[in-house]
C-alpha cells in the first residue's frame, strides 16, 4: 500500500498498528518528497521494516501534541526541518520573517525558536526514558560548541541542551539505519557509541579511545583564539576517510564525542534512496490551508548529486554533506523524470537538474573515494588543483537524455554552477550546451564579490576568473545568436570587507550598469569558517586577524553601496563615501555614483588605487529573484525565470551600452 505515513491514531489503525517503532517529530509540515529530510529518513526506515509515524509542527506549548501517536517502541527522531529554525524565523538583521515556506499557507509561527531543543525537552517532560535521536541541519551544525548569532554568544553542544541521546549528523542515511538496528537488537541507547556519523555524550572518559581532545567549553568561552583553533580542528575532520574522533569537554566532567563522519553513499545507495515510494507532495490535510509553498520550488526538479568540493567559507556544506560528490545514475534520474511528466500539472519544464553545485558529477579526484579529500587543501581555491578531474561529459550526456524524454519541452539548470570548475574543463562543450539549451534568458551565478581581498576570505576564485567566465559566456551566446544575461549573486559585509572594498564593488556595478534588486548581507550561520571569523576576528585557517564589519550601521552602509541607485539609500551612500574618503564619487561625472543634492559640490577626496575591474562590455542584468537562502546552500535556489517585461527592460539596458 503506497500512502502517506501515519500522522494520527486513525492512520495507524488503518495500517493495523498498535504502536510505532519510531515517531518522527519535525519543525516542517509533512511533505513526502525526497527533497525533505523527514521523508527520506522515514521512508528509508520503512524500507528496512520499521513502522514510522510523523508528528509535524506539534504545538510546543501543549504536551498532548507530542503524545499524538503514543509512546514509540524504539524512540523519537527529532529535526527542526529543512532549515535551522533561527534562519527560518529571522533575517540577518534579526527581524522576524513574514512567511514560512515549510508551513501550510506560509504561516509564520508554527515552530518555536531553537526548535530541536524545545521539541526534545517537551518529549522529555512526558517520556523520561525513551531514546531521542536528533538530526537535520540544525542539529548537524550545532553538534559541538558553536557561535550562535541570534543570542550573540558561544553555545554548547545541542546534545546537552536538548537532553537527546544521540545526534545523527550529516545526511544520516547510514547512521540512522545502524541506530535503528542497534535499538531493535536491545542495545541500550547509552551504549550506542560506535556508529560513524553520530555524536554521543558520556561521563566516562576511560571508555574513549583513538581520539583528539578539544579544549574545554569554559576555555573556549574565555578565549576566542582557542575557539578559532578548535573550530579549525573540527573543520579539518569532516572527511569520512581521514576524520578523527573528536572529544569536547564540559567542566572536565561531561564529554561530547563526535565519531568520524559516515562513509559517502555509493551510486547504488543513492539510487535506492530516491526510488523509495514517496507520494511526492505535501500531505492532503494541508490543502484547505493553502498547501506548502516550498513544494513549488522542488516539485519538478531533480536532485542529481550531493556534496560540494567548492568549500566556500560561508557555506555549511562541508560540515553537513561533506566535500565528496555522490551521484545518482542516469537510469534513476530518468525514471524520476518520467514520473514528473505524468503529474497532472506538469507543463513540460524540468526546473532543475543539480544539487549544491549543479555541474559536479564526479569526485574532485580519483583518490577521494578511497582516501578522502585533502584535509588542509581545497580543490578549487586559490587555484584549481592539478589533480582535479574537471569533466562535464557525464552531465552533458544526462541532460541530453532528459531533453529527449516525451513531454519534456525544456530542462533548466537553476541550482547554480561553479564557473571556475567550468573554466577548468579543457573544452567548452558544457558551456555551449548550457547556453543553447538550459538557460531561461538569465543564468544565476555567484561571484559574491569583486575585491580579491574579500574573495580570499570567502574561499572564492579571484575576480579575474569571473571576468573570464563573463567574457566566454557572452561570446558563446553571440555565437549561438542568443540574447542571454548573467545575474550575479553578491554579498555585503562578509569578513574582510571594509568600506573600501564595498566602494570597489559599487564601482564595479556602476561600470556594469546593473543594480541588484536584493542583496544578501552576510549571515553568520552555525559552523562555517566565515561565522568563526565573524565571532573571533581571526581566520581559523591561518589565525591572522580579519577586519569584520559587525556594526549594524556599517553593514547598512555596505549594503546601500551595492544599491546606490535606490533613492532610499542616498544618505547612507553619502555617509559611506565620506568615511571611505571617496567623495570624488559624488558629482555629475559619469563615473560618479550619486549626485549632490541642491546643486552642491564635493571635494575630490582620495581615489583608491584598486578600482573595480569590469567594463560596460560585460553582460549584466536586472535581478528578478531573491537572494539565496542563508542556512546552508545545501538547498539550492530555483527561482522563476524573468517575466517578458523585465527581460525587455534588460535588453534596453544593454542596447544603451
Q: Please check the confidence at residue 641 and state whether its pLDDT lies above 80.
A: no
The mean pLDDT of 503-522, rounded to a whole number, is: 90
Alpha carbon separation from 478 to 164, 467, 618, 650 (Å, rounded):
58, 17, 13, 16
**Residue 353, SS3?**
strand
Note whether 292 and 331 are within 8 A (CB): no
% of the chain at pLDDT higher than 70: 91
Q: Quick one: pLDDT at residue 519?
A: 83
More confident residue, 628 or 35: 35
User: Cα-atom radius of gyration of the chain, to the nearest Å?
Assistant: 25
Residue 32 makes CB contacts below 8 A (sequence gap 6+) with 4, 5, 39, 43, 278, 279, 280, 281, 282, 283
246 bridge partner residues:
212, 258
Q: Quick one: pLDDT at residue 481?
A: 96
Structural domains of the chain, with CATH: 9-201 (3.40.50.280), 300-438 (3.30.750.210), 442-628+637-657 (3.30.750.200)
- pLDDT tens digits for 593-635? 999 987 555 554 444 444 433 333 333 333 333 333 333 333 3
Q: Please check the confidence at residue 652 and state whether its pLDDT lies above 70.
A: no
Q: Please check the confidence at residue 654 and state whether its pLDDT lies above 60.
A: no
The mean pLDDT of 258-265, rounded to a whole number, is: 97
Q: Please check the confidence at residue 651 and state whether its pLDDT lies above 90.
A: no
The mean pLDDT of 348-373, rounded to a whole number, is: 93
pLDDT band for position 302 (cuts 50, 70, 90): very high
Q: Quick one: pLDDT at residue 645?
A: 45
Nearest partner of 559 among 610, 499, 629, 637, judged by Cα: 499
- pLDDT tens digits for 127-157? 999 999 999 999 999 999 999 999 999 999 9
Note whether 60 and 117 are within 8 A (CB): no
249 bridge partner residues:
255
Task: Give CA–CA dist 236/244, Å, rounded.
Answer: 9
Task: Give CA–CA dist 604/46, Å, rounded.
Answer: 70
Torsion of CA 143, 145, 149, 152, to 10 degrees: 150
Nearest partner of 183 among 50, 67, 71, judged by Cα: 50
- pLDDT tens digits for 367-398? 898 899 998 889 999 999 999 999 999 999 99
Q: Quick one: pLDDT at residue 631?
A: 37
- pLDDT tens digits for 61-105? 999 999 999 999 999 999 999 999 999 999 999 999 999 999 999
Strands annotated E in 357-478: 410-411, 442-448
Amino acid at each position: 500500500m503506497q500512502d502517506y505515513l501515519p500522522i494520527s491514531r486513525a492512520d495507524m489503525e488503518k495500517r493495523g498498528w498498535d504502536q510505532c517503532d519510531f515517531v518522527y517529530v519535525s519543525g516542517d509540515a509533512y511533505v513526502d518528497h525526497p527533497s525533505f529530510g523527514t521523508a527520506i529518513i522515514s521512508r528509508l526506515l520503512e524500507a528496512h521494516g520499521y513502522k514510522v509515524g510523523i508528528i509535524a509542527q506539534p504545538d510546543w506549548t501543549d504536551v498532548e501534541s507530542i503524545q499524538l501517536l503514543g509512546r514509540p517502541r524504539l524512540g523519537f527522531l527529532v529535526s527542526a526541518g529543512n532549515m535551522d529554525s533561527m534562519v527560518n524565523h529571522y533575517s540577518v538583521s534579526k527581524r522576524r520573517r513574514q512567511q514560512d515556506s515549510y508551513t501550510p499557507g506560509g504561516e509564520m509561527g508554527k515552530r518555536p525558536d531553537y526548535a530541536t531543543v524545545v521539541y526534545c525537552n517537551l518529549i522529555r517532560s512526558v517520556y523520561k526514558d525513551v531514546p531521542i535521536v536528533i538530526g537535520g541541519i540544525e542539529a548537524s551544525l550545532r553538534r559541538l560548541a558553536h557561535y550562535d548569532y541570534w543570542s550573540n554568544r558561544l553555545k554548547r553542544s545541542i546534545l546537552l541542551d536538548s537532553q537527546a541521546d544521540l545526534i545523527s549528523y550529516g545526511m544520516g542515511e547510514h547512521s540512522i539505519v545502524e541506530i535503528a538496528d542497534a535499538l531493535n537488537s536491545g542495545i541500550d541507547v547509552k551504549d550506542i557509541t560506535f556508529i560513524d556519523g553520530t555524536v554521543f555524550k558520556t561521563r566516562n572518559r576511560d571508555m574513549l579511545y583513538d581520539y583528539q581532545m578539544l579544549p574545554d567549553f569554559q576555555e573556549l568561552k574565555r578565549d576566542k583564539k582557542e575557539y578559532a583553533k578548535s573550530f579549525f580542528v573540527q573543520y579539518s575532520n569532516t572527511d569520512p576517510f581521514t576524520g578523527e574522533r573528536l572529544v569536547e569537554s564540559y567542566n572536565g566532567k561531561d564529554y561530547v564525542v563526535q565519531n568520524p563522519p559516515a562513509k559517502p553513499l555509493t551510486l547504488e545507495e543513492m539510487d535506492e534512496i530516491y526510488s523509495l515510494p514517496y507520494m511526492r507532495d505535501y500531505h492532503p490535510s494541508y490543502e484547505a490551508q493553502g498547501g506548502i509553498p516550498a513544494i513549488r520550488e522542488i516539485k519538478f526538479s531533480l536532485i542529481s548529486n550531493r556534496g560540494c568540493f567548492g568549500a566556500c567559507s560561508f557555506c555549511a556544506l562541508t560540515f553537513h554533506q561533506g566535500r565528496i560528490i555522490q551521484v545518482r545514475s542516469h537510469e534513476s534520474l530518468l525514471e524520476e523524470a518520467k514520473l514528473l511528466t505524468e503529474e497532472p500539472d506538469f507543463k513540460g519544464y524540468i526546473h532543475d537538474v543539480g544539487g549544491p553545485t549543479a555541474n559536479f558529477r564526479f569526485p574532485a579526484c580519483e583518490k577521494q573515494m578511497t582516501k578522502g579529500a585533502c584535509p588542509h587543501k581545497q580543490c578549487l581555491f586559490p587555484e584549481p588543483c592539478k589533480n582535479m578531474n574537471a569533466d562535464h561529459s557525464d552531465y552533458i550526456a544526462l541532460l541530453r537524455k532528459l531533453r529527449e524524454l516525451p513531454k519534456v519541452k525544456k530542462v533548466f539548470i537553476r541550482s547554480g554552477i561553479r564557473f571556475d570548475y567550468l573554466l577548468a574543463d579543457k573544452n567548452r562543450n558544457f558551456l555551449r550546451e548550457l547556453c543553447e539549451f538550459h538557460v531561461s534568458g538569465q543564468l544565476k551565478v555567484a561571484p559574491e564579490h569583486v575585491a580579491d581581498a574579500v574573495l580570499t576570505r570567502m574561499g572564492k576564485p579571484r575576480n579575474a576568473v569571473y571576468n573570464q567566465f563573463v567574457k566566454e559566456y557572452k561570446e558563446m551566446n553571440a555565437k549561438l545568436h542568443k540574447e542571454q544575461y548573467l545575474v550575479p549573486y553578491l554579498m555585503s559585509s562578509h569578513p574582510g570587507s571594509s568600506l573600501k572594498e564595498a566602494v570597489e564593488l559599487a564601482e564595479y556595478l556602476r561600470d556594469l550598469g546593473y543594480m541588484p534588486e536584493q542583496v544578501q548581507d552576510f549571515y553568520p550561520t552555525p559552523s562555517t569558517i566565515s561565522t568563526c571569523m565573524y565571532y573571533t576576528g581571526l581566520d581559523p585557517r591561518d589565525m591572522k586577524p580579519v577586519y569584520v564589519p559587525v556594526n549594524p550601521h556599517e553593514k547598512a552602509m555596505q549594503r546601500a553601496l551595492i544599491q546606490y541607485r535606490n533613492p532610499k539609500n542616498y544618505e547612507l551612500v553619502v555617509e559611506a563615501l565620506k568615511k571611505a574618503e571617496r567623495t570624488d564619487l559624488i558629482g555629475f561625472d559619469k563615473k560618479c555614483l550619486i549626485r549632490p543634492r541642491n546643486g552642491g559640490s564635493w571635494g575630490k577626496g582620495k581615489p583608491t588605487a584598486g578600482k573595480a575591474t569590469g567594463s560596460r562590455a560585460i553582460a549584466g542584468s536586472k535581478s528578478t529573484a531573491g537572494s539565496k537562502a542563508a542556512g546552508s546552500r545545501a538547498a539550492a535556489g530555483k527561482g522563476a525565470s524573468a517575466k517578458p517585461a523585465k527581460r525587455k527592460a534588460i535588453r534596453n539596458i544593454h542596447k544603451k551600452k
